[in-house]
């Protein structure tokens, strides 16, 4: 298979939550493969932008807070992006949040906050992007799911519910859009060293217990997800639809 299948030259990728962690690594990885990057984030991703532009790619940032944006506002951002960049070929729904508490103490506010960012905004941003991709007859949509799309987790009921929803949406949208040239897939990371896992990594009991259960013997770093993202964004995955690709160091096979 030619490595040219993995090139993303002249394509435009929209990445949510690109200022750090997984989003930053994926955005820079897509740029290394040739894509221009549109970052949607409430914080200015200066470091990400510098890295993308150093590769000779275009980079724009749109200030978007997925916790509060309305459906109409998300659609407007997508329309403005297509008008400015001339096209939109790839969407990576990476942004996410997590709130930890026992189920009997879990607040409505925490439930709604997680569902808004991790599931509702993901769907409606995908809907808006999907309209353009269906019109042009091609596109790659990549959701960031989780190993908790398959498991229950501990003390994270809303996060688990949302990530199960992401896996379900991946399959549902693939069923509708595959025949029209739009690939919808997801990546399910295992335990990754990001800000979302800071509390776990600071836990003197849980961190070593988790690490001991990972066959690879270590937590992932954001760069471990880049290969999967480039694959799912490229022509190499043209016949891959509705897949939740696990990148977990073997966690789910244990």
Residue 215: Cβ within 10 Å count: 11
Picking from 155, 168, 247, the residue whose alpha carbon sits closest to that of residue 197 is 155
What integer pLDDT is reported at residue 5 of this predicted model? 97
* Residue 250 confidence class, pLDDT cut points 50, 70, 90: very high
Picking from 109, 88, 3, 100, the residue whose alpha carbon sits closest to that of residue 40 is 88
Rounded Cα distance, 158 and 164, in Å: 10
Could you read off the pLDDT of 228-240 as tens digits, one per residue? Answer: 999 999 999 999 9
Rounded Cα distance, 203 and 206, in Å: 5
Instruction: Kindly name the residue from 106, 159, 191, 239 that is annotated as catalytic.
Output: 159
159 is catalytic: yes
Picking from 233, 101, 139, 251, the residue whose alpha carbon sits closest to that of residue 188 is 251
Whether pTM > 0.95 for this model: the answer is: yes
Rounded Cα distance, 77 and 40, in Å: 9
Could you read off the pLDDT of 97-130 as tens digits, one per residue? Answer: 999 999 999 999 999 999 999 999 999 999 999 9
Which CATH fold topology does 3-248 show? Rossmann fold (3.40.50)
Map 231-253 to HEC letters. Answer: HHHCHHHCCCCCCEEEECCCHHH
* Residue 1 confidence class, pLDDT cut points 50, 70, 90: low
């Amino acid at each position: 298979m030619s490595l040219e299948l993995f090139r993303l030259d002249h394509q435009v990728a929209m990445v949510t939550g690109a200022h750090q962690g997984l989003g930053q690594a994926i955005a820079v990885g897509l740029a290394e493969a040739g894509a221009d990057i549109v970052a949607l984030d409430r914080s200015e991703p200066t470091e990400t932008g510098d890295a993308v532009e150093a590769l000779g790619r275009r980079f724009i940032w749109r200030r978007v807070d997925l916790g509060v944006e309305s459906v109409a506002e998300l659609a407007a951002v997508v329309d403005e992006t297509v008008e400015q960049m001339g096209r939109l070929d790839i969407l990576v729904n990476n942004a996410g949040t997590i709130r930890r508490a026992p189920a009997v103490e879990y607040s409505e506010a925490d439930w709604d906050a997680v569902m808004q960012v991790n599931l509702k905004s993901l769907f409606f941003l995908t809907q808006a992007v999907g309209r353009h991709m269906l019109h042009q007859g091609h596109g790659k949509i990549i959701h960031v799911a989780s190993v908790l799309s398959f498991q229950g987790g501990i003390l994270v009921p809303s996060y688990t519910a949302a990530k199960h929803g992401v896996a379900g949406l991946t399959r549902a949208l693939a069923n509708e859009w595959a025949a029209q040239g739009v690939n919808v897939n997801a990546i399910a990371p295992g335990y990754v060293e990001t800000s979302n896992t800071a509390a776990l990594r600071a836990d003197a009991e849980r961190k070593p217990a988790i690490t001991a259960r990972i066959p690879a013997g270590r937590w992932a770093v954001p760069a471990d997800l880049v290969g999967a993202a480039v694959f799912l964004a490229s022509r190499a995955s043209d016949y891959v639809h509705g897949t939740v690709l696990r990148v977990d160091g073997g966690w789910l096979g244990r």
